[in-house]
Amino acid sequence: MNNNAIEIRGLVKNYPTFTLGPLDLTVPRGAIYGLIGPNGAGKTTTIDLIFGMGKNDAGSIRVAGLDHRTDARLLSKVGRCLLRRADEGISFKRL
């Protein structure tokens, strides 16, 4: 069993005026991380890519052992569920 909730390796997303990455990030299961940075730094893009709500240009993402490309449909449902639960004030012990 994988002990990481999120594993990102070499993530790149290109836009006409901005390139995100390459980004490497490991979030151990049970950990709480925050993405902090100025507007336009790629925080929302990173979250969207993690939950399969966008297409990256390079790199790989795994969430709870699921691949963001092959399991994109499932991860997009997980992302919507997490966002809805966060709005309701429900916390998660681990992913």
The domain ranges of the chain are: 4-87
Distance CA 42, CA 80 (A): 19
Question: Given this model, what pLDDT does residue 1 score?
Answer: 57
Q: What is the mean pLDDT of the chain?
A: 80
CATH 1.10.10.60 matches 4-87: no
pLDDT > 50? residue 75: yes
For 5-52, what is each residue's pLDDT tens digit? Answer: 899 999 999 999 999 999 999 999 889 899 999 998 999 899 888 877
Angle made by CA atoms 5, 7, 8, in degrees to the nearest 5: 145
Q: What's the whole-model pTM score? A: 0.73
- Rounded CA-CA distance 27/12 in Å is 18
